[in-house]
């Protein structure tokens, strides 16, 4: 697995790659702008130039969309702002040569799953019609499935992917270990691990898998709690991550940490060291 972490873009998008390089990441995930605001200043030519020079030093570079974006929202203002924000982020990915933009499927806020899926697809289609460049893959992230959140089951993601593909939108999936576990999919023991991936392959298909988020879970299996923990310190534990990083079927896919960290990134260093140690043994099949 190609291991790395999400990095801050404070000081410019290029600074995220510099931070990632400083702790020997092979993969890196960034926000393309301040993810807590609807609007953001344009990318500067200098930061774009440095970013593009540094990018070939990584095996995988991807972006995560703002958490504000909710294409499934029934609120017209939020839906409109989400479309505009996603369009801007897609354009930034095109400029930076980032092939995958990871996005949470959003929340239907009481409108119902079927309605929410339709609302999401409508918004995504408007974004791609405006951007036109199909070089960026809209990558839907698995979710913990709490409340009215979409994407908590493989079946919901399948329906979203199918509708988007039918509309000509390039799509993929990001498998978040914390979210999947919190949604009720077992990863800790051999039998449960194999059953989870067998279901993923049957319902979604491995061809759609673009990346993994490697996060342990503070919540128990099926808790629907999106609470990330450091590798081996949560409910998934060392055994689950050993299976993941030794799984031959996941080789060459980026595995990105989204665990809490200090400014000096020492937690990322420790988590990456553990994952690499766990992956040092013989490759296994699921």
Residue-range domain boundaries for the chain: 2-278
What token pair was written down for 139? 């990558």
Rounded CA gap, 259 and 233, in Å? 11
- The number of helices, as runs of H, and strands, as runs of E, in the chain is 9, 10
In degrees and rounded to multiples of 5, residue 58 shows phi and psi of -120, 150
Which residues, 6 or more positions from 166, have their beta carbon under 8 angstroms from its beta carbon?
A: none
Cβ atoms of 82 and 68 within 8 Å: the answer is yes
Query: Over its length of 286 residues, how does the chain's per-residue pLDDT go in tens digits?
Result: 999 999 999 999 999 999 999 999 999 999 999 988 998 899 999 999 999 999 999 999 999 999 999 999 999 999 999 999 999 999 999 999 999 999 999 999 999 999 999 999 999 999 999 998 778 999 999 999 989 999 999 999 999 999 999 999 999 999 999 999 999 999 999 999 999 999 999 999 999 999 999 999 999 999 999 999 999 999 999 999 999 999 999 999 999 999 999 999 999 999 999 999 999 854 555 5
Residues in the chain: 286
Enumerate the H helices of 97-173 as residue ranges: 113-131, 154-166
pLDDT of residue 132: 80
Closest C-alpha to 97, from 66, 61, 130 = 61
Closest C-alpha to 136, from 168, 98, 173, 110 = 98
Closest C-alpha to 250, from 193, 211, 282, 205 = 211
Rounded CA gap, 157 and 168, in Å? 16
Rounded CA gap, 10 and 40, in Å? 13
Torsion angle, alpha carbons of 123, 153, 245, 239, to 10: 150
CA distances from 30 to 50, 90, 103, 204, 271 (A): 15, 13, 12, 26, 18
Domain 2-278 -> CATH class = alpha beta
Question: Which neighbouring-strand residues pair with 212?
Answer: 175, 255
Which residues, 6 or more positions from 116, have their beta carbon under 8 angstroms from its beta carbon?
A: 72, 106, 107, 108, 148, 150
pTM (2 decimals)? Answer: 0.95
């Amino acid at each position: 697995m190609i291991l790395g972490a999400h990095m801050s873009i404070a000081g410019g998008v290029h600074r995220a790659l510099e931070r990632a390089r400083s702790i020997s990441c092979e993969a890196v995930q960034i926000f393309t702008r301040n993810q807590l605001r609807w609007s953001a200043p344009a990318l500067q030519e200098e930061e774009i130039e440095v970013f593009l020079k540094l990018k070939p030093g990584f095996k995988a570079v991807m972006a995560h969309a703002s958490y504000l974006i909710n294409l499934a929202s029934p609120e017209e203002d939020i839906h409109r702002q989400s479309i505009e924000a996603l369009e801007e982020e897609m354009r930034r990915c095109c400029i930076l040569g980032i092939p995958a933009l990871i996005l949470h499927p959003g929340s239907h806020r009481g409108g119902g799953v079927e309605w929410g899926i339709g609302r999401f697809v409508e918004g995504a289609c408007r974004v791609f019609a405006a951007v036109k460049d199909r070089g960026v893959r809209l990558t839907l992230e698995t979710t913990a499935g709490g409340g009215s959140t979409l994407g908590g089951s493989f079946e919901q993601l399948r329906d979203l992917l199918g509708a988007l593909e039918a509309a000509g939108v390039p799509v993929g999936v990001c498998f978040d270990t914390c979210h999947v576990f919190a949604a009720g999919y077992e990863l800790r023991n051999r039998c449960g691990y194999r059953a989870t991936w067998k279901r993923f392959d049957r319902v979604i298909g491995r061809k759609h898998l673009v990346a993994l988020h490697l996060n342990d879970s503070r919540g128990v299996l099926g808790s629907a709690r999106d609470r990330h923990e450091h590798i081996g310190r949560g409910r998934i534990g060392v055994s689950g991550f050993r299976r993941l990083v030794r799984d031959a079927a996941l080789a060459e896919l980026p595995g990105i940490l989204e665990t809490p960290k200090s400014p000096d990134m020492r937690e990322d260093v420790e988590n990456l060291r553990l994952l690499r140690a766990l992956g040092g043994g013989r490759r296994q099949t699921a």
